Amino acid sequence: MQTDIISQQGTRQQFDVIVIGSGIAALSYILELTQLNPNLKIALLTKITLVDSNTYYAQGGIAAVFNAEDTVNQHVKDTLQAGDGLCNQQAVNAILEQGRASIEFLQNNGVLFDRSESGELSRGREAGHSERRIYHCGDQTGAFIASALISQIKKQKAVTIFEQYTAINLITNDLQHQPGSVTEVVGLYALANVTGLIHTFLANVVVLATGGAGKVYRYTTNPDVATGDGVAMAYRAGARVGNMEFYQFHPTLLYHPKINNFLISEALRGEGAYLRLANTGERFMQRYAPQAMELATRDIVARAIFSEIEQSDYDFVCLDIRHKDKQFLQQRFPIIYQTLLNLGLDLSKDLIPVVPAAHYLCGGVLTDTSGRTDLARLYAIGEVAFTGLHGANRLASNSLLEGIVMGRNAAQASREWVTKKLQLQNNIQDWKTTSVIDTRRSIQINAHWRGLRGEMSAYAGIIRTEAGLQDLLRLVSLRRNMIEKYYWDHLITRDLIELRNISLVAELIVKSALRRHESRGNHFREDYPQAETQPEVSLARASHLIGDNHYEYEQFYNINLHT
């Protein structure tokens, strides 16, 4: 049943720089830029509140070489090994060599890392690291970092903060795109979640710092904001995205009916926790990684758990750290300890039920390590970006580091544009579509969310096959067409924006997974269990754009890393 027709047209505002997101990448970018140029007019838009981000939930810590016994070379080696042949070594070197500077940047902005009794910074261990090099604040590293950086940002007069604003689409300067022409991003449309108005924001530079897309799968460690909006917006505007098939699954999400996205940090395995079968109690990792066991890289551990669950009558396996001292566990993992206790589980006495869950998008918008994209004036930083640091599988705790390094590098790099005024070639329209409120939509949208996420988990999860991916492509494409129609005909809400984006991200993952006829890192094809000898990255681009981010066809291609 259809009811009122309403206009969502809002106001127009202009800034020097607009940053979308409030995670570690966005915050680092702004703090660096305001140091370099305190007179800029900067807008920060974020979907809910400043602390709603993956960053806030980071537990384990930040990987960096800060200790004389460790070397950047060794950190590089571990990262390349985890990345399973698909890392861009230049990006790896460029990012990891800024480990020390990044820890100092956080300390200078008020982050207090844990210290040992002798006063040294404490160093945790996580899977795939040959050294203890994870700097942490208990098991709440992200919350400490986010809080410290946010309080610095709030002191910056140049920054206007827009909470509860959802960016919808990028505005480009050349709406009649021709293949090969350089498109310029000049702003974006954003929904004010509370009023329902859609505002026009113009800026000399737009920075996407929108994080990952864990919500594309049924089980995820990510909070609700992680819906791949930045990838979808950049793709629709004509930027290339890459390696979308490499979604990293974290091995140990808590499996409990009362909490659905609580992570049990890998740092527990770093401190000696075992994985055991739920029925027999057997430690099973020796059958999958006899050397590294529970500290094998995440792709291996997650796949092992998935296989064991598939063969058993249980929907979970168990994490066991009962052999560690209770006081140590309470001090080292205070939030995990207390959260479990509230659920009736004592980490020092009980086995903890866990399952693998979608955690980190290793691909994303193609950028260099300073966040430059294919489009002029558009930067992408942090988890939304695909620099090549992570290859086919991210080494634990490298992403907070990447967020800081990219944020700070992009602040330097974007100085080329921040004061260069826009020369608008087209008359940029404010949001003018009138929309119909359709009272059926909220339940339809929920059905799409549930359906899409369930299908992605079943067919494009930890183990994939051609037949399954082909079936999935039909399902996802059908849903995507229906969702696009809702988007153009009806009232725009945050839920609809997110669903539209996640369905596009899902399609990109499936199409990329279908093209990759090998198994590597996070992408395991039962029908192609070996890795190809010549590793290729996969890229996708929407071309022949025909205005307002509609595109006529897509190109998908794989390129050799060394060409």
Residue ranges of alpha helices (H) inside 349-493 are 398-413, 415-418, 441-459, 466-489
Which one, 22 or 457, has the nearer CB to ligand FAD? 22
Residues 302-341 that bind ligand FAD (CB under 6 A): none
Told to check if 360 binds ligand FAD by CB under 6 A, we report: yes
With respect to ligand FAD, which residue has the nearer C-beta, 248 or 435?
248
Cα gap 272→292, rounded to integer Å:
12
| Pairwise CA distance, residues 106 & 28, whole Å | 9
Does residue 21 interact with ligand FAD by CB under 6 A?
Answer: yes
User: Which residue stretch of 24-32, 170-178, 272-280, 445-453 sits at the interface with ligand FAD (rule: CB under 6 A)?
Assistant: 24-32
Per this entry, what is the length of the chain?
563
Structural Rg of the chain based on CA atoms: 23
As a whole number of angstroms, the distance between CA 523 and CA 86 comes to: 12
Residue 548 to residue 545: CA distance in whole angstroms: 8
Number of residues that bind ligand FAD (CB under 6 A): 45
Q: How far apart are CA 339 and CA 386, in angstroms?
A: 34
Q: Which is nearer to ligand FAD, 93 or 210 (CB)?
A: 210
Nearer to ligand FAD (CB atom), residue 183 or residue 227: 227
CA 6 to chain centre: 34
126 or 536: whose CB is closer to ligand SIN?
A: 126
Q: Is 24 near ligand FAD (CB under 6 A)?
A: yes
Q: Which does 22 bind (CB under 5 to 8 A by kind): ligand SIN, ligand FAD, none?
A: ligand FAD
Quick note: the x/- pattern for ligand FAD over 125-144, rule CB under 6 A, is: ----------------xx--
Q: Report what 86 binds from ligand FAD, ligand SIN, none; CB cut-off 5-8 Å by kind.
A: none
Active site residue 298: yes
Between 26 and 396, CB nearer to ligand SIN:
396
Q: Could you give the CA distance from residue 345 to residue 419 in angstroms, rounded to a whole number?
A: 56
Give the residue among 284, 216, 269 at the shortest CA–CA distance from 455. 216
| Site pattern 376..415 for ligand SIN (x: CB under 6 A) | --------------------xx-x----------------
Which phi-psi region, left, alpha or beta, contains residue 119 (left: φ > 0; alpha: ψ -120 to 50)?
Answer: left
* Binding track, positions 222-251, relative to ligand FAD; x by CB under 6 A: x--xx--x----------------------
Member of 8, 16, 19, 22 binding ligand FAD (CB under 6 A): 22
How are beta strands 536-545 and 434-438 bridged, if at all?
unpaired
Give the angle 430-433-439 at the CA atoms, nearest 5°.
135
Helix axes 89-96, 398-413, angle to 10 degrees: 90
Pull the structure tokens for residue 541: 């681009």
The answer to whether residues 190 and 167 touch, using CB atoms and an 8 Å cutoff, is yes
The entry of ligand SIN, ligand FAD, none near residue 508 (CB within 5 to 8 angstroms by kind) is none
Per CB under 6 A, 52 contacts ligand FAD: yes
Residues within window 58-117 making contact with ligand FAD, judged by CB under 6 A? 58-62
Indicate the residue among 57 and 189 with the shorter CB distance to ligand SIN.
57
The region of 19-27, 116-124, 199-207, 475-483 touching ligand FAD under the rule CB under 6 A is: 19-27
**Between 54 and 519, whose beta carbon lies closer to ligand SIN?**
54
Residue of 382, 461, 521, 535 that binds ligand FAD (CB under 6 A): 382
Question: Token pair for residue 234?
Answer: 């950049």
Pick out residues in 166-225 that bind ligand FAD (CB under 6 A).
166-167, 209-212, 221-222, 225
Total residues contacting ligand SIN (rule CB under 6 A)? 8
DSSP run (H or E) holding 246: none
54 binds, among ligand SIN, ligand FAD, none (CB under 5 to 8 A by kind): ligand FAD
One of 21, 60, 391, 521 touching ligand SIN (CB under 6 A): 60
d(Cα 82, Cα 77) in Å, to the nearest integer? 9
Q: Which is nearer to ligand FAD, 34 or 59 (CB)?
A: 59
**Which CB atom, from 268 or from 309, has the smaller least distance to ligand SIN?**
268
Binding mask 255-274 for ligand SIN (x = CB under 6 A): ----------xxx-------
Q: Which residues contact 364 (CB under 8 A, 6 or more apart)?
A: 230, 231, 241, 242, 243, 244, 380, 383, 384, 385, 386
Q: Which of residues 391-410 bind ligand FAD (CB under 6 A)?
A: 397-400, 403
Q: Could you say which of ligand SIN, ligand FAD, none residue 183 binds, taking C-beta under 5 to 8 angstroms by partner kind? A: none
Rounded Cα gap, residues 175 and 183, in angstroms: 8
In this structure, which long-range contacts are made by residues 147-150, counting pairs with CB atoms below 8 Å and at least 24 apart in sequence?
Answer: 147/51, 148/106, 148/109, 148/110, 148/111, 149/24, 149/27, 149/28, 149/31, 149/106, 149/109, 149/111, 150/22, 150/27, 150/50, 150/51
Per CB under 6 A, the list member of 17, 18, 19, 25 interacting with ligand FAD is: 25
Per annotation, catalytic residue among 269, 298, 372, 464: 298
* Secondary element (H or E) of residue 26: helix 24-36
Q: Does 53 bind ligand FAD (CB under 6 A)?
A: yes
Q: How far is the CB of 400 from ligand FAD (least distance, A)?
A: 4
Q: Is 224 helix (H, G, I), strand (E, B) or coil?
A: coil
Give 269's contacts (C-beta < 8 A, 6+ positions apart).
126, 127, 252, 275, 294, 295, 319
Q: Using CB under 6 A, which of 95, 263, 472, 513 touches ligand FAD?
A: 263
> Which positions are annotated as active-site residues?
298
Residues that bind ligand SIN (CB under 6 A): 59-60, 265-267, 396-397, 399
Residues that bind ligand FAD (CB under 6 A): 20-26, 45-48, 52-55, 57-62, 141-142, 165-167, 209-212, 221-222, 225-226, 229, 263, 360, 382-384, 397-400, 403
